[in-house]
A and B are shown apart, each in its own frame.
Chain A
Amino acid sequence: MTTLVDTKKLTMVQAVTDGMRVMMKEHENVIVLGEDVGQNGGVFRATDGLVTEFGENRVIDTPLAESGIIGTSIGLAMNGFKPIAEMQFLGFIYPAFNQIMTHASRIRARTLGHFTVPMVIRAPFGAGVRAPEIHSDSVEALFTGMPGMKVVVPSNPYDAKGMLVSAIEDPDPVLFLEPMRCYRSTKMDVPEGKYNVPLGKAARLQEGSDVTIFAYGAMIEVVMKAAKTAEEKGIKCDVIDLRTLYPLDKEMIAESVQKTGRAVIVHEAPGTGGLGETIMSLINDTSFLYMKAPIERVTGFDTPVPMFALEDHYLPSADRVVQAIEKVTQF
């Protein structure tokens, strides 16, 4: 039996707005706070219209202070509210690092569960949109290495809304990263009501038997292009969108590489200390004897994200990914 669900064609940023709207309608304690999130609707319009619909007590323009936003959100969260705190860009989160590292992520552990901080931190991130300096950082690994935080990254409008709903329902702090390059790149049918895309679960975007490609966020478009080129050369790629970076979907990662015996990991964050290393160690732990070739990584470099005249050199390209695919298949 097929159930008909009303859908709308939405971009990712519209899907994010819709996710917040659905949850704010359902739960009075869900509030949005950040810089310019009110009348202006956020610098990317992610909170567009919410202040009109829910009022200034629930969609709050805060003073320009990231530590202040996260610190007060902690107080609100452990006193009955579910704050969705917007960081204007992930590259602006650094003043709040202390609040996230020393409080948000560990209050549950410190108090053996007596106090908890159920909050969502939303942050646009990544390079490739010709943004000014510091606006393009991809520092998810600072947070995947932070005990007590979940870190998630949707790559399309459907996942964005469903994962945001799950993040808001999660009893613990979740860093919800929104790849800026994907904000308006495509439209997709998105169900109108509430639905969940579970956290901790990756998605297989393409079935293949020769090599697994792991990526997330804005790199999905890049690896899909590479997989198509590879296919023309007779190489079948299993493409996995990780979606949740902590905790990783261990089962799907292991299952895929045990089938293909080869892996290429792609992310735009710097190679050293990046998620690629974590995934490699996971493959080592689960699938060492299945591997037919050393794992390849295509990542950003151990350099600050350059100003945008150089960002195309910095970002992993489909060409580099194809070269990595060929390297592991020809090993």
Chain B
Amino acid sequence: MEKLFPKMQIINENGEWKDETYRGEITEELTKELYTKMLRSRLFDRKGVNLQRQGRIGTYVPFEGQEASQIGSAMAMGEGDWMFPTYRDHAATMTFGHSLKTLFLYWKGRQEGCIPPEGKNIFPPAVPIASQLLHATGAAWAEKLKGTDRASIVYFGDGATSEGDFHEGLNFASVFNAPVVFFNQNNGFAISVPIEKQMKSKTIAQKAVAYEMEGVRLDGNDVFAVYFHTRTAVERARKGEGPTLIEAVTWRYGAHTTADDPSKYRNQEESVNRRETTDPILRLERFMKNENMWDEKWAADLQESLTLEIEAAVKEMEEIQAPHYNDMFDHVFAENPWPIESQKEAYAHSRGDR
């Protein structure tokens, strides 16, 4: 199966060409854009972990190591398309349109963190596992019924492939030929459970075969491979050629969330080694150096301006007014039914507010 679904690369760990199909499109401009977005998300992620450690936000879900998977795939989507993230996909959603402030607000426990900017079809993060595959399928199916060429992308991890909704999502999309890209980030661990205990299959991409669907396995730390192969899947979807299952093989360096300690279930030395070998950002840096695109001053300035942008977003997040409790009551239904209205009044009364 690993032979049938080889881990495709465009550049290898040393930033050397492995597949020159897209060489003409891999310009300095595109490369720098991808580098910028990956660095931005990494700095955001580290900030998120630090803010949690300082008690300034709640539990945070880090994605460091998975930047190429999320950014390469999100870059392949177009205006008007739909995105269905999990709680680990803020690199994808910030690339597709969420503001950094909104993302921080989510981790500060604010409902506003679930709301995309007007015109951006970004669903709130799915917290149950794999349920979002069906929403992506439904939304894409709706676009097909409306006769548009819009598509959905949905993110999920290796553990999600064990859920029934993973299979129901793939099957519905296959049966109704819905324009969906099922984007799996296989980081090898579902919290603490390694993939060998999750499935006997050697790849996740092979599961596409059962649904008569295109299956693609790629190096999820090669941002070019992710971007171009996802773009192909989106183009196929737009042309009515059906859904695709993409397995992006990647790695999360840190914990599942800030509430667990990965050294309890795996040897973290591997994460340390991977930072030196397969890191997606370092790989792109090596590529840029090989291709004479690297400029130390540009990189230093970039680091500085992104840091400032993130600090500004933290400030905005922290300056926002505390939410009013009416937000909790007033959006359950279009109109409050009497039980909610009377509970709201009683609560206000208990606080001496009326």
Q: Please report A residues at the B interface, Cβ cutoff 8 Å.
A: 31, 57, 62-63, 65, 67-68, 70-81, 95, 98-99, 102-103, 106-116, 147-148, 150, 171-172, 200, 246-248, 250
Of B138, B145, B165, B331, most buried by chain A (CB within 10 Å of CB) is B138
Nearest opposing residue in chain A for B168, CB measure: A68
B136-191 with Cβ < 8 A to chain A = 136-143, 145-146, 152, 164-165, 168-169, 171-172, 175
Of A31, A71, A147, most buried by chain B (CB within 10 Å of CB) is A71
With a CB–CB cut-off of 8 A, which chain A residues contact B146? 80
The listed residue (B112, B127, B164, B334) touching A67 by CB distance below 8 A is B164
B339-354 with Cβ < 8 A to chain A = 339
With a CB–CB cut-off of 8 A, which chain A residues contact B332? 106, 108-109, 147-148
* Contact between chains at A103 and B115 (CB < 8 Å): no
CA distance A116 to B335 in the complex (A): 13
Given known A-B contacts A76-B142, A111-B114, A247-B338, A71 and B331 have beta carbons under 8 A apart: no
Check if B24 is an interface residue, CB within 8 A of chain A: no
* Contact between chains at B145 and A57 (CB < 8 Å): yes
* Contact between chains at B138 and A71 (CB < 8 Å): yes
* Contact between chains at B135 and A75 (CB < 8 Å): yes
The listed residue (A71, A102, A116, A171) touching B168 by CB distance below 8 A is A71
* Contact between chains at A108 and B172 (CB < 8 Å): no
Total A-B residue contacts, Cβ distance less than 8 Å: 132
* Contact between chains at B333 and A98 (CB < 8 Å): no
* Contact between chains at B327 and A75 (CB < 8 Å): no
The listed residue (A70, A98, A111, A172) touching B115 by CB distance below 8 A is A111
17 contacts between A and B (CB under 8 A): A63-B172, A67-B164, A71-B135, A72-B135, A72-B137, A72-B138, A72-B172, A73-B138, A75-B137, A76-B139, A76-B142, A99-B134, A102-B131, A108-B332, A112-B331, A148-B332, A247-B339
With a CB–CB cut-off of 8 A, which chain B residues contact A79? 82, 138-139, 142-143
* Contact between chains at B135 and A112 (CB < 8 Å): no
* Contact between chains at A65 and B172 (CB < 8 Å): yes
With a CB–CB cut-off of 8 A, which chain A residues contact B134? 67-68, 70-72, 74-75, 99
CA distance A78 to B124 in the complex (A): 12
Check if B337 is an interface residue, CB within 8 A of chain A: yes
CA distance A81 to B168 in the complex (A): 20
* Contact between chains at A71 and B137 (CB < 8 Å): yes
Closest 9 CB pairs of A and B: A75-B138, A71-B134, A68-B168, A247-B337, A72-B138, A79-B142, A75-B139, A171-B334, A75-B135
* Contact between chains at A115 and B123 (CB < 8 Å): yes
Q: Which DSSP category, helix, strand, loop or mixed, fits chain B's interface?
A: helix
B251-295 interface bits toward A, Cβ cutoff 8 Å, 1 = contact, 0 = none = 000000000000000000000000000000000000000000000
* Contact between chains at A81 and B145 (CB < 8 Å): yes
CA distance A270 to B351 in the complex (A): 37
With a CB–CB cut-off of 8 A, which chain B residues contact A74? 134-135, 138
Of B116, B124, B333, B334, most buried by chain A (CB within 10 Å of CB) is B333
CA distance A168 to B171 in the complex (A): 27
CA distance A67 to B112 in the complex (A): 28
* Contact between chains at B140 and A75 (CB < 8 Å): yes
CA distance A107 to B332 in the complex (A): 8
CA distance A315 to B127 in the complex (A): 39
| Shortest Cβ gap from B105 to chain A (Å) | 12
* Contact between chains at B168 and A65 (CB < 8 Å): yes
| Shortest Cβ gap from B261 to chain A (Å) | 27
Nearest opposing residue in chain A for B110, CB measure: A112
Check if B55 is an interface residue, CB within 8 A of chain A: no
With a CB–CB cut-off of 8 A, which chain B residues contact A111? 111, 114-115, 124, 331
* Contact between chains at B128 and A102 (CB < 8 Å): yes
The listed residue (A103, A147, A171, A246) touching B135 by CB distance below 8 A is A103
With a CB–CB cut-off of 8 A, which chain B residues contact A115? 123-124
The listed residue (A31, A103, A200) touching B131 by CB distance below 8 A is A103
* Contact between chains at A148 and B333 (CB < 8 Å): yes
Given known A-B contacts A72-B137, A98-B128, A112 and B112 have beta carbons under 8 A apart: yes
CA distance A77 to B339 in the complex (A): 26
* Contact between chains at B142 and A81 (CB < 8 Å): yes
With a CB–CB cut-off of 8 A, which chain B residues contact A31? 145
Nearest opposing residue in chain B for A249, CB measure: B338
With a CB–CB cut-off of 8 A, which chain B residues contact A75? 134-142, 152
With a CB–CB cut-off of 8 A, which chain B residues contact A147? 332
CA distance A261 to B143 in the complex (A): 56
Nearest opposing residue in chain A for B137, CB measure: A72
- Interface contacts beyond A67-B131, A76-B141, A116-B334: sample of 7 additional A-B pairs, CB < 8 Å, sorted by A: A57-B145, A65-B168, A71-B134, A95-B164, A99-B131, A99-B165, A109-B328
| Shortest Cβ gap from B31 to chain A (Å) | 35
| Shortest Cβ gap from A65 to chain B (Å) | 5
* Contact between chains at B131 and A108 (CB < 8 Å): no
CA distance A95 to B331 in the complex (A): 27
CA distance A112 to B329 in the complex (A): 10
| Shortest Cβ gap from A236 to chain B (Å) | 29
With a CB–CB cut-off of 8 A, which chain B residues contact A67? 131, 134, 164-165, 168
* Contact between chains at A98 and B116 (CB < 8 Å): no
* Contact between chains at A110 and B124 (CB < 8 Å): yes
